[in-house]
Amino acid sequence: MAFAASDGVRLTGWWLPAEGKAKGTVLHFHGNAQNMSTHVQFAEWLPAQGYHLFVFDYRGYGRSEGSPTRRGLVRDGIAALETVRQRPEFDADRFFVWGQSLGATVALQAMLRSDVPVKAAIIDSAFSSHGRIAAEKMRQIPWFLQPLRLLRPLFISGGFDADQALGLLPVDLPLLFLHGEEDPVIPPSHSQHLHQLRPENSQIRIIPEAGHCDAVLRFPEQIRPGLLEFLE
């Protein structure tokens, strides 16, 4: 299905209906790289558990138009929230968000800027801020390139960050932070930091042996029941 962001950029998404009597709706914000045809694997088990699922591609991903920018991706997230609200299946008391990696930041920023009511959110493998993850990655470059770290603020600035959104979102929004203990892309310390910023009405699970966003695929019998319990 096609829908549009507030600046007119055309986006694409898939609506996967629940099997049997619906328990609610989950809007999935995928991570960086590739598109929803790859990332849907993380959440495609939800319809069999009674949840409608909406997945979509940000601008510049898949068949969505445009080029990605931080502001643009947040516009796209707001449009996805509004698209779900306009569905006849929408129930404000049973509407959930699941953001993974980059999508976790986009989800938090979109919820902050939207009046669409969200019952609870899963924040999976998130980085706390663009500046922090960039600084950590630059510390890993060879020693002779280390002076480039001084230029990092010129190229990767703050703005539209997860930690900033958490400071402004309502404290009564239930949050579940997930992170793989062996995540090679984003250290679990990022989710731990975010949880510390919002200990009220939130939970955190650091999954042993899991990598980046892959716990729900590698350990389904361990992870999926906990996600369903959180949603229910």
Mean pLDDT of the region 92-99: 97
Percent residues over pLDDT 70 in the chain: 88
Indicate whether 197 pLDDT > 90.
yes
- Taking the C-alpha atoms of residue 122 and residue 120, their distance in angstroms, rounded to an integer, is 7
pLDDT of residue 132: 67
pLDDT of residue 140: 54
pTM (whole model) above 0.85: yes
Residue type, 89: E
Mean pLDDT of the region 87-93: 96
Q: Would you report the helix, strand and coil content of the chain in percent, each value rounded to 5? A: 40, 20, 40
Mean pLDDT of the region 81-92: 97
- In contact, 53 and 97? CB cutoff 8 Å: no
